[in-house]
Amino acid sequence: MTILVTGATGTIGSQVLAHLAGEGVPIRALTRSPDKAAFPAGVEAVAGDLADPDSLRRALDGVSTLFLLTANVPDELTQAMLAVDVARQAGVKGLVYLSVFRGADYADVPHFVSKATVERMIAALDLPATILQPAYFMQNDLRQQQPVTGMGLYGMPLGNKGLSMIDTRDVGLAAARELLRRARAESPLPAVTYPLVGPDALTGDALATLWGEVLGRDVHYAGNSTDMLEQGLRASGPSWLARELLLMLRRYQSDGAVASAADVAATAQVLGRQPRAYRAFAEEAAAAWNAA
């Protein structure tokens, strides 16, 4: 009942591996550089790249269950669809796909549309899959350390409609639990979809206030302008990615991404406990910043 984890060296993949450790199930981790990879004890590093379907086919030999995470790259949709096809041909009995919360609603955000399209493919093929739909990651706000501690500003222009952010550790736990459930089952299990959301609807102003309370200082929301952010994104990465992230932020500003009570309950069901609250994340981050 071997599990293959893609995106294994990234933020979410590493959390998935951490939660799978010690569960007594053989684990493989897909990486372009297996000789350089540092994975938990017992994890087998296997060479492969989602842009190379033949390498994925080799990595899937003897695998029963696949965790599929595709990076935000220009050919994300192609990579994901080919990976699903290769997994189907390989006869995996379980697939856990990392999608995005409200992916079908944001028709002008490329990586949202990509993930919603892969969900449609999985449904059309009637695959034994768990689709996980995480909201915006709390850990994205670790980049706010300098603005909030140095200038008293929360600078991410998330708007005033509200987001129900999720802790990346909860995403990893949900994925690991579903991978183990499917890997240990005697036969393929029915398809299921879970939103992954936090319990709070957080606006830019609310986040500034919360950080002020946690840090014991005045923190203000820098506002909804994306001009400075766009300049920074273009200076540090490709212009297509900067544009896509701006489209996402503008949708957050216009529509928000607030979870319903049913969404939070579904998240608690797949986690086996309540999802972490943003305040707990912020208190932990502030303690680490102060200690450093």
Whether 283 maps to a domain, the answer reads no
Q: Residue 231: is its pLDDT beyond 90?
A: no
| pLDDT at res. 228 | 84
Whether 250 is covered by a domain: the verdict is no
- 132-167 per-position pLDDT tens digit: 999 999 999 999 999 999 999 999 999 999 999 999
- The answer, yes or no, to whether residue 230 has pLDDT greater than 90, is no
In whole angstroms, what is the distance from residue 287 CA to residue 292 CA?
A: 9
Residue 292 has pLDDT above 90, yes or no: no
Measured at the CA of 154, the angle between CA 245 and CA 144, to 5 degrees, comes to 70
Report which DSSP code applies to 203. -
Residue 291 lies in a domain: no
Residue 125 in domain: yes
Residue 14 lies in a domain: yes
110 part of a folded domain: yes
For tokens 């932020």, name the residue: 249
In a domain? residue 158: no
Alpha helices, DSSP H only, in the chain?
11-20, 53-59, 76-90, 110-124, 145-146, 168-184, 204-215, 227-236, 239-255, 261-271, 278-291
Residues in the chain: 292
What is the Cα–Cα distance from 158 to 162, expressed in whole angstroms?
Answer: 8
What local confidence, expressed as pLDDT, does residue 22 receive?
Answer: 92
**Over residues 55-78, mean pLDDT:** 97
Q: DSSP letters along 134-170, please? A: E-SBGGGGGGGHHIIIIISEE-----SS-B--B-HHH
What's the pLDDT tens digit per position in 166-199? 999 999 999 999 999 999 999 999 999 999 999 9
Kindly list the distances between the CA atom of residue 144 and the CA atoms of 18, 78, 187, 232, in Å, as whole numbers in the listed order.
26, 33, 46, 14
Given a cut of 90, whether residue 200 has pLDDT beyond it is yes
pLDDT at position 163: 98
187 neighbors 93 (Cβ within 8 angstroms): yes
pLDDT in tens, 80-105: 999 999 999 999 999 999 999 999 99
From the list 166, 162, 2, the residue with the least C-alpha distance to 98 is 166
Rounded to the nearest integer, the mean pLDDT of the chain is 96
Q: In which band, very low, low, confident or very high, does the pLDDT at 267 lie, cut at 50, 70 and 90?
A: very high
Q: If we measure between CA atoms, which residue out of 255, 116, 103, 96 comes closest to residue 176?
A: 96
Does residue 285 sit within a domain? no
Q: Say if strands 27-31 and 2-5 run parallel, antiparallel, or are unpaired.
A: parallel
Check which CATH number belongs to the domain holding 39 and give it: 3.40.50.720
What is the count of structural domains for the chain?
Answer: 1
Domain that holds residue 23: 2-135+167-197+260-272
